[in-house]
Chains A and B, each alone.
Chain A
């Protein structure tokens, strides 16, 4: 496995801790080696020492098991690639590893660099013959995959100069989360949900991805991307696809991804003229998060004081197909919201005839099925129940299923799942070229509408649930956002 961008944050926080945890669970192949590569000059010894500290800090299992780490660290190498000619050194190390550990020419390349470096690295992989003579070669490409449809297609064409589409693993780490995969299991391994998973029974769907963090050290990237490109284009549209897709004929990469593409294609486009009524964009001002005073977005280091980048997006969209005709999907995401949470809520219709109007002091809440992606992964269903004793009063209660308490294990990190899948060649949880292109085709006209000034940038205090306009977006339909 070759990691480009090995001196970066992603490698230290996610990739190496994930590999270490795989090693801990005896899930790494016997002939496995990691070769880090970056511009910086350092020895393999220095590289390993850095990673040791990173794992000690970021691993989900702590403290670090020094025996396992020491054995795993022996398989880690480092090759500095400050210039293109250094890729020949990389090839030599790879060839040597083939012999030493019997890797048979199998290669997994991982692009953990800033996106500007993707194309030169891919071309260098091709030009310097880094693909093995024998065995398989695959490439994992991190997000962002392009910044619009055209750049995504351009990137794909460069990737295809060196790799076939079935060798390309576009990562969307949301798909590596247990609970996201569980959406498919809930829907297609249980017979009771699918019959009511339609416009007849579902009033609307809400998808929320809320972060409490600001932009941290990502100002350079974030200020040019914004929440739409950073979260909506990839993660939230993938969640929408999983919730809304038709049942695939089989659980394999082709069937699942074919169905996802179909629903993404059925997503009704939001034209630049409609962004005023169907979208909300916001940016956080100063406020409080968990008791701490935080600055507004424009005061964040590295952000222009007059930046118009959105840190909050709310959308109302429709899926134009037989199953979902007329059922709105409300989507929102933002930074500096009061709580870190990702969830999908399926709101069912109210009971058709109300026989308990006298017995309820307030309106009865309709049933709601909530899939909590993070934190506290689980599923809950609200049902109306009779309050014991007290005459006849009714109120909503929750049936709650939490993963942790039911299976007694910590869910693996998404990167563990995804890296293992890539090593095994299972692309089901990775995004195919046509999915990425559909996602950009949906997002591009909205961003274009914003650039034309068709939707004002609203500000919201840090620690609130977003701008008032987001409340208005859903309140216009007589609905309201959940308190996740």
Chain B
């Protein structure tokens, strides 16, 4: 059996350990070496972990990227990272687990980052939790970062979620967000807080939109919204459609403003969505989410939002778009055809590291996100192309 097991890169993942006891021993030894190293440099070394981060990945390249990201965050969020690399493709192979551990010793490293790789193979779904539990540092919150699309009704996901205080996903990677987002909403019922990195990408958009309605004279338009148009980026040939971010933005508006029901009006054009919702007062809201090709954007990123509103005879448009370039947003308020306000703000390029760093600081539930998910679940029937 051992012959079929391919080796992982030990320069990255560290030394292998035969058992969990041996792994703890090895980690202890590595920590001592790190302390000795720090002392030589005249530095103090603290083992000040604040969280356990369990990363689940099914490809080594994903596992490796995730581990590097977590390591870069070690100064802000010193942690023990437990990377579970599951090789599910190989049918018929005996279940096995291999453990590796690693404690980096950079010159600037004064806090402890410990990384464990648990490589599991074969029929492992019901065993995964039994490998992870003994590796968790006591007392610290457990964050589970699920790379890729979470499966539906899967034992290994449920077991790991039950161990965790927070589940981190990135809906930008979901192949079918119309199916997966409702599943994610369902997981919230396992009493786990859910974080979506894609939701964090929306934060500047949500701030800019909300700020329009902080202005007292425009606030009444909030109850008079008649239409939403949002664009999201696709690649040039328009094959990969990732509407998650735009859908979350819509779910947020719908949950905050109490919009309900949905009726599909037309077959979605080129992967877009067109439908009608109703406001709390029963008036209709026309919604169009449209894929657009735009240079410099990752597929799925929101490219612009236009909110149309009417109040008596007055009309207003609130527009946020990426202008003058992809790294800036221009927010304009147009009342009765006259531009009353135009602001340009930078849109920071949020990499996985920045997004994750923000999310790891939050220990409780993100109720606004969960409400947006619930609103999306109500939309789900209308989302099917």
A398 to B, closest residue via Cβ:
B139
CB A40 to nearest CB in B, in angstroms, measures 31
CB B93 to nearest CB in A, in angstroms, measures 14
A407 to B, closest residue via Cβ:
B32
Query: In the complex the two chains form, is B130's CB within 8 Å of A405's CB?
Result: no
Q: Tell whether A387 pairs with B47 under 8 Å between CB atoms, given A290-B19, A291-B97, A370-B138.
A: no
CB A293 to nearest CB in B, in angstroms, measures 8
A405 and B139 CA atoms in complex are apart in Å by 19
CB B50 to nearest CB in A, in angstroms, measures 6
B177-216 residues with Cβ-Cβ distance < 8 A to A are none
Q: Tell whether A288 pairs with B140 under 8 Å between CB atoms, given A400-B49, A405-B32.
A: no
Residues in A with CB closer than 8 Å to B131 are 290-291
- Interface-forming stretch among A43-51, A171-179, A336-344, A349-357? A336-344
CB A409 to nearest CB in B, in angstroms, measures 9
CB B310 to nearest CB in A, in angstroms, measures 36
Residues in B with CB closer than 8 Å to A341 are 138
Query: In the complex the two chains form, is A361's CB within 8 Å of B364's CB?
Result: yes
Residues in A with CB closer than 8 Å to B136 are 483
Query: In the complex the two chains form, is B130's CB within 8 Å of A463's CB?
Result: yes
Query: In the complex the two chains form, is B363's CB within 8 Å of A291's CB?
Result: no
Q: Taking the complex as formed, is A195 at the interface, i.e. its CB lies under 8 A from any CB of chain B?
A: no
Query: In the complex the two chains form, is A404's CB within 8 Å of B364's CB?
Result: no
Query: In the complex the two chains form, is A291's CB within 8 Å of B130's CB?
Result: yes
Q: Taking the complex as formed, is A482 at the interface, i.e. its CB lies under 8 A from any CB of chain B?
A: yes
Q: Tell whether A362 pairs with B32 under 8 Å between CB atoms, given A338-B133, A375-B24, A484-B138.
A: no
Query: In the complex the two chains form, is B130's CB within 8 Å of A289's CB?
Result: yes
Query: In the complex the two chains form, is B50's CB within 8 Å of A398's CB?
Result: yes
Q: Taking the complex as formed, is A181 at the interface, i.e. its CB lies under 8 A from any CB of chain B?
A: no
Residues in B with CB closer than 8 Å to A317 are none
Query: In the complex the two chains form, is A483's CB within 8 Å of B138's CB?
Result: yes
A390 and B35 CA atoms in complex are apart in Å by 31
Q: Tell whether A408 pairs with B32 under 8 Å between CB atoms, given A340-B134, A482-B138.
A: yes
- Interface-forming stretch among B119-127, B271-279, B376-384? B119-127
Residues in A with CB closer than 8 Å to B280 are none
Q: Taking the complex as formed, is B45 at the interface, i.e. its CB lies under 8 A from any CB of chain A?
A: yes
Q: Taking the complex as formed, is A380 at the interface, i.e. its CB lies under 8 A from any CB of chain B?
A: yes
CB B7 to nearest CB in A, in angstroms, measures 19
CB B104 to nearest CB in A, in angstroms, measures 15
Q: Taking the complex as formed, is B350 at the interface, i.e. its CB lies under 8 A from any CB of chain A?
A: no
Query: In the complex the two chains form, is A400's CB within 8 Å of B47's CB?
Result: yes
A385 to B, closest residue via Cβ:
B50
Q: Taking the complex as formed, is A397 at the interface, i.e. its CB lies under 8 A from any CB of chain B?
A: yes
Q: Tell whether A376 pairs with B133 under 8 Å between CB atoms, given A291-B127, A398-B49, A404-B32.
A: no
Q: Taking the complex as formed, is A199 at the interface, i.e. its CB lies under 8 A from any CB of chain B?
A: no
Q: Taking the complex as formed, is A327 at the interface, i.e. its CB lies under 8 A from any CB of chain B?
A: no
A370 and B138 CA atoms in complex are apart in Å by 10
A361 and B365 CA atoms in complex are apart in Å by 8
Q: Taking the complex as formed, is A212 at the interface, i.e. its CB lies under 8 A from any CB of chain B?
A: yes
Residues in A with CB closer than 8 Å to B36 are 408
A382 and B50 CA atoms in complex are apart in Å by 10
- Map CB proximity to B onto A193-220 as digits: 1 under 8 Å, 0 otherwise: 0000000000000000000100000000
Residues in A with CB closer than 8 Å to B258 are none
B335-365 residues with Cβ-Cβ distance < 8 A to A are 361-365
Q: Taking the complex as formed, is A114 at the interface, i.e. its CB lies under 8 A from any CB of chain B?
A: no
A13 and B145 CA atoms in complex are apart in Å by 41
CB A97 to nearest CB in B, in angstroms, measures 38
Q: Taking the complex as formed, is B270 at the interface, i.e. its CB lies under 8 A from any CB of chain A?
A: no
A398 and B79 CA atoms in complex are apart in Å by 11
CB A475 to nearest CB in B, in angstroms, measures 15
Interface centre among B24, B138, B361 (most CB of A within 10 A): B138
Q: Taking the complex as formed, is A273 at the interface, i.e. its CB lies under 8 A from any CB of chain B?
A: no
Q: Taking the complex as formed, is A395 at the interface, i.e. its CB lies under 8 A from any CB of chain B?
A: yes
Interface centre among A340, A376, A393 (most CB of B within 10 A): A376
Residues in A with CB closer than 8 Å to B361 are 387, 390, 393
Q: Tell whether A362 pairs with B28 under 8 Å between CB atoms, given A288-B126, A405-B45, A482-B139.
A: no
CB B173 to nearest CB in A, in angstroms, measures 26
Q: Tell whether A404 pairs with B31 under 8 Å between CB atoms, given A288-B127, A390-B361, A397-B50.
A: yes
Q: Taking the complex as formed, is A301 at the interface, i.e. its CB lies under 8 A from any CB of chain B?
A: no
Query: In the complex the two chains form, is A376's CB within 8 Å of B28's CB?
Result: yes
Q: Taking the complex as formed, is B48 at the interface, i.e. its CB lies under 8 A from any CB of chain A?
A: yes
A300 and B178 CA atoms in complex are apart in Å by 49
Query: In the complex the two chains form, is B31's CB within 8 Å of A368's CB?
Result: no
- Map CB proximity to B onto A400-427 as digits: 1 under 8 Å, 0 otherwise: 1010110010000000000000000000
B24-70 residues with Cβ-Cβ distance < 8 A to A are 24-25, 28, 31-32, 35-36, 45, 47-50
CB B277 to nearest CB in A, in angstroms, measures 30
- Map CB proximity to B onto A355-387 as digits: 1 under 8 Å, 0 otherwise: 000001110000010101001100010100001
A396 and B97 CA atoms in complex are apart in Å by 33
Choose among B25, B35, B362, B364 the residue that contacts A408 (Cβ–Cβ < 8 A): B35
Query: In the complex the two chains form, is B95's CB within 8 Å of A404's CB?
Result: no
B35 to A, closest residue via Cβ:
A405
A396 and B141 CA atoms in complex are apart in Å by 9
CB A482 to nearest CB in B, in angstroms, measures 7
Residues in A with CB closer than 8 Å to B124 are 291
Q: Tell whether A212 pairs with B35 under 8 Å between CB atoms, given A395-B363, A398-B49.
A: no
Query: In the complex the two chains form, is A290's CB within 8 Å of B47's CB?
Result: no
Q: Taking the complex as formed, is B253 at the interface, i.e. its CB lies under 8 A from any CB of chain A?
A: no
- Map CB proximity to B onto A239-272 as digits: 1 under 8 Å, 0 otherwise: 0000000000000000000000000000000000
A287 and B36 CA atoms in complex are apart in Å by 41
B93-123 residues with Cβ-Cβ distance < 8 A to A are 95-97, 120
CB B357 to nearest CB in A, in angstroms, measures 11
A266-324 residues with Cβ-Cβ distance < 8 A to B are 287-293
- Map CB proximity to A onto B5-31 as digits: 1 under 8 Å, 0 otherwise: 000000000000001110011001001
Residues in B with CB closer than 8 Å to A382 are 139
Interface centre among B20, B47, B97, B139 (most CB of A within 10 A): B139
A397 and B136 CA atoms in complex are apart in Å by 15
A467-482 residues with Cβ-Cβ distance < 8 A to B are 482
Query: In the complex the two chains form, is A343's CB within 8 Å of B138's CB?
Result: yes
Sorted nearest first, the 5 A-B pairs with minimum C-beta distance are A361-B364, A339-B134, A288-B130, A338-B133, A291-B97
Mind listing 14 A-B residue pairs with CB under 8 Å?
A: A289-B130, A290-B131, A291-B96, A292-B130, A338-B133, A343-B138, A382-B139, A397-B50, A400-B49, A404-B31, A405-B47, A463-B130, A482-B139, A483-B139
Assuming A362-B365, A484-B138, what are 10 further A-B pairs, CB within 8 angstroms? A290-B130, A291-B127, A291-B128, A293-B95, A339-B134, A361-B365, A375-B25, A390-B361, A408-B35, A483-B136
